[in-house]
Amino acid sequence: MNIENPIAYSFIMQDEIYLLNKDKEFYKEHAVSEQVATVAPPEVAVTVSEPVTIVAEPEPAYIATVVESMTKPQPVSFNYLGGNKRNFLVIVHYQEHDFMHDKHLTALESTLSRLGFNRDDVAIFNKAKQDAELEGLTAFFKPEKLLIMGKNSLPIGISIELNKLTQISNYPALFTFSFDEMMDSVENKKAFWEQMKQL
């Protein structure tokens, strides 16, 4: 085999190759240098006769909307019993029930019917199942009347006196006993009913 270029040996033979002195001289003369040519970009002369004003295009409206929606807190949804047709919010606290104990629900509906309300008119929210601040509840339910039954039912961010009708924002609110506190107490039932008549 006659090979004129010694570099080709490295492709044919995988072992180390030792060059003779005369091959070394040939290799030095014909070796390809790996030089990188650098080309300078051509110079371009620019003349500006008038001042140039660059006007940035306004951002598309949808970008502003996306940014705005990312910064605003998303509305919270609450699970409740009733239709909330007359914006009457009732807040209760029952760990063992989805909304209320059946006996207590019957007693509440009886009281509400004496005042001209039914289950479709109210929203019964169980705070034990989903804790919430008053601000979030108000934004979601938009109450025109508020009944809070028991100290465990008090939402975060409210300070209100027991069994005293109070105005919160533009609607009347009543913080009263829970049904557990009323079932065996005639006095508590009377105090509850007197305030409910004014709500």
The reported pLDDT for the residue numbered 186 is 93
Residues 101 and 181 occupy one common structural domain: yes
Residues 22 and 111 occupy one common structural domain: no
User: CA-CA distance, 158 to 151, in Å (whole number)?
Assistant: 11
Number of compact structural domains in the chain: 2
pTM of the full predicted structure? 0.62
Residues near 112 by beta carbon (within 8 Å), at least 6 away in sequence: 88, 118, 119, 121, 122
Residues 118 and 183 occupy one common structural domain: yes
- 148 inside domain: yes
Residues 23 and 94 occupy one common structural domain: no
Q: What is the pLDDT along the chain (199 residues), one digit of tens a residue?
A: 566 666 665 666 666 666 677 767 766 666 544 444 455 555 655 555 566 555 555 555 555 555 555 555 555 689 999 999 999 999 999 999 999 999 999 999 999 999 999 999 999 999 999 988 999 999 999 999 999 999 999 998 888 999 999 998 889 999 999 999 998 899 999 999 999 999 8
Domain residues for 20?
A: 1-32
- 21 inside domain: yes
- 56 inside domain: no
What's the burial of 172, exposed, middle or buried (CB within 10 Å: 0-12/13-18/19+)?
A: middle
